[in-house]
Amino acid sequence: FPYTTLFRSTDAVSCFVEEERNGIYDLEMQIPEQSKHFSDIKLERIILAKPNPEDDPQPFRIHRISKPMNGIVTVLANHISYDLKGMPVNSFIANSCSIAVAKLKSESLIACPFTFTTNIVSSTIMTVAKPYTIRDLMGGVRGSLIDTYGGEYKFDRFSVQLLSARGQDR
């Protein structure tokens, strides 16, 4: 991936990660221009941030940097899994969720550094009639994995899990 630099910023004024079930996974950070790591903030670079108290730090790719206001810059970044928007996958047919998840990588038209797993046991057929991006096939187009098999995504760095249920029902 171009321009990839991994760093931790301990001098951020604020850092907020928002994750919705099967939805957005974004970071918003405010950092002073005078901070030690400010010169590392560039588009397409990666920020490693802890999204919540339980999970390990996750990589977020910077996609927007604001103009400074009172010496503070706002940085917006998406979880590294958004890189899957740029990875096309060929058409395929799968007769189970585990095969469909495996085909996201095996039918990718470019090298894919992500791993895909599932605990969903289903023999429903998924038909992908034309090329889409991997992220689209995960959810967002008719006939996606979520449409076909249901479930909830868990992202951990370059690992994508489609789980029947994430967490516990309390």
What DSSP letter does each residue of 113-135 carry, written as one string? --EEEE-------EEE-S-EEHH
- For the four alpha carbons of 59, 8, 27 and 168, in that order, the dihedral sign comes to positive
Residue 163 has pLDDT above 70, yes or no: yes
pLDDT averaged over every residue in the chain: 92
Q: Residue 11 has what pLDDT?
A: 77
Q: Residue 4 has what pLDDT?
A: 45
What global pTM score does this model have?
0.89
Q: Residue 3 has what pLDDT?
A: 42
Q: Residue 12 has what pLDDT?
A: 85
Q: Quick one: average pLDDT of 56-60? A: 95
Proportion of the chain in helix, strand, coil states, percent, rounded to 5: 20, 35, 45
Reduce the DSSP state of residue 148 to 3 states and report it.
helix
Residue 10 has pLDDT above 90, yes or no: no
Residue 2 has pLDDT above 70, yes or no: no
Residue 74 has pLDDT above 50, yes or no: yes
